Amino acid sequence: MNSGLLAGKRGVVLGVANEKSIAWACARACVDAGASLIFSYQGEVLEKRVGKLIETLPRPAPMFPCDVGLDDEIEAFFLRVEEQWDSLDFVIHSLAFAEKDDLKNPFFQTPRANFAKALDISAYSLVAVTRRAAPLFKHGGSIVAMTYYGAEKVVPHYNVMGVAKAALEMSARYLAVDLGPQNIRVNCVSAGPIRTLSASAIPGMRQLLDVNQRVTPLRRNTDAEEVARSTVYLLSDLASGVTGEVLHVDCGFHVLGLFAAEEEKELAE
C-alpha cells in the first residue's frame, strides 16, 4: 500500500512492547514501505516478546537493549547500530513513562522525583537520542515522536504525562531548529486514544473510547495503523518540507470546542 515510500531507508524503532504497541504498527508500515529496521527493547522481560514479533516480519531485523533513562544504554545501542549500518535515515520515538499512582491521583500531588522521572523518560529521551543519532544521518534524516492531546489541554488523569508531552512537543521544535541546517527534520504525531498496554490500566479508558467514537468529526476511534501510515509520510521524502510540526492523527478530535455530536442530540430533544 505504501510501497516504495521508504525504499532503501534505514530506521531505528524505539518503544515496541507488544503487538498492540503503536511502535509495532509503525514498524510494520515502515517495512511495508521498503525500510530496513533496528529495534530497541527495554529490559529483559521484553526481549523475548519483541524477538518473537520481529520474527514475523518479512525481513530479519536486529534488536538491542535500550533503556532511554540510561546514557550508557543509549550509547551502547547506537554503537550497535553503527556496527550494522554506516548511515541512518530515521528514528521513531514511541515511548513514555509515568508512575501509575500519578496517573490516578490529582496532579498537584505528583512527587518531585516522579515528575523528574516522567519528564526524563518521556521528553528528555528525545533530546538524548536525537543528539546520539544526529551524526549518523549522513544524507539528512527524519525523527518522529508520539504525543497526545493531553500536552495541549487538561485531560483527566493524564496529569504529569501531559506536562511531559508538552515538553516533548516543544523539544521537537527546538531540535527542528538546531538540526534543520543538516536537513534533519523533527516532528510529532499526536495520536487519538488507542487501546495499548500504556492505555489499558488507565481509569475510565473504556468510557473515553466510547465517548470519543461518538464525538470525533470522523465519528470513530483512531487505530494504530492509521497513526503508522501518517508516521511513514513524515519519515518519507513526501514530507521533505515539514519540520517542527505536530500532526494530529486523532479523527479530528483536536478541532472540537464543544462536543458537537452530543450537542446536536440535545438540541433535537
Catalytic residues: 148, 158
Residue span 38-77 as binding mask against ligand NAD, x where in contact by CB under 6 A, dash where not: ----x---x--------------------xxx--------
Rule CB under 6 A: is residue 202 a binding residue for ligand NAD?
no
Rule CB under 6 A: is residue 94 a binding residue for ligand NAD?
yes
Rule CB under 6 A: is residue 144 a binding residue for ligand NAD?
no
| Alpha helices for 86-222 (secondary structure H) | 112-119, 125-133, 159-179, 197-200, 205-215
State the DSSP H helix or E strand holding residue 168, giving kind and residue range, or none if neither.
Answer: helix 159-179
Q: At what angle do helices 71-84 and 125-133 cross, to 10 degrees?
A: 30
- Phi, psi at residue 76, to the nearest 5°? -60, -40
Rule CB under 6 A: is residue 157 a binding residue for ligand IMJ?
yes
Q: Which amino acid is at 51?
A: G
- Residues with Cβ within 8 Å of residue 269, at least 6 apart in sequence: none
Q: Which is nearer to ligand NAD, 197 or 256 (CB)?
A: 197
- Phi, psi at residue 65, to the nearest 5°? -70, 145
Rule CB under 6 A: is residue 158 a binding residue for ligand IMJ?
yes
Rule CB under 6 A: is residue 186 a binding residue for ligand NAD?
no
Task: Give the three cell numbers for residue 44.
Answer: 529483559
Rule CB under 6 A: is residue 17 a binding residue for ligand NAD?
yes
Rule CB under 6 A: is residue 212 a binding residue for ligand NAD?
no
Residue 218 binding result from ligand IMJ, ligand NAD, none, given CB thresholds of 5 to 8 Å by partner type: none
C-alpha closest to that of 80 among 92, 55, 62, 54: 62
Q: Which is nearer to ligand IMJ, 134 or 208 (CB)?
A: 208
Among 116, 177, 197, 260, contact with ligand NAD (rule: CB under 6 A): 197
Rule CB under 6 A: is residue 179 a binding residue for ligand IMJ?
no
Rule CB under 6 A: is residue 221 a binding residue for ligand NAD?
no
- Residues with Cβ within 8 Å of residue 182, at least 6 apart in sequence: 134, 137, 140, 141
Among 11, 185, 193, 235, contact with ligand IMJ (rule: CB under 6 A): 193
- Binding residue count for ligand NAD, defined by CB under 6 A: 26
Q: Which stretch binds ligand IMJ (CB under 6 A): 63-71, 98-106, 134-142, 236-244?
A: 98-106
Rg (CA), the chain: 18
**How many Cα atoms are found within 13 Å in the side-chain-facing hemisphere of 259?**
13
Rule CB under 6 A: is residue 36 a binding residue for ligand IMJ?
no
**Scanning the structure block, which residue is given the C-alpha cell 544526529?**
134
Give CA–CA dist 162/153, Å, rounded.
Answer: 8
Q: Are 193 and 209 in contact (CB under 8 A)?
A: yes
Kindly list the residues in this chain that would bind ligand NAD in the complex (CB under 6 A): 15-17, 21-23, 42, 46, 67-69, 94-97, 121, 146-148, 191, 193-194, 196-199
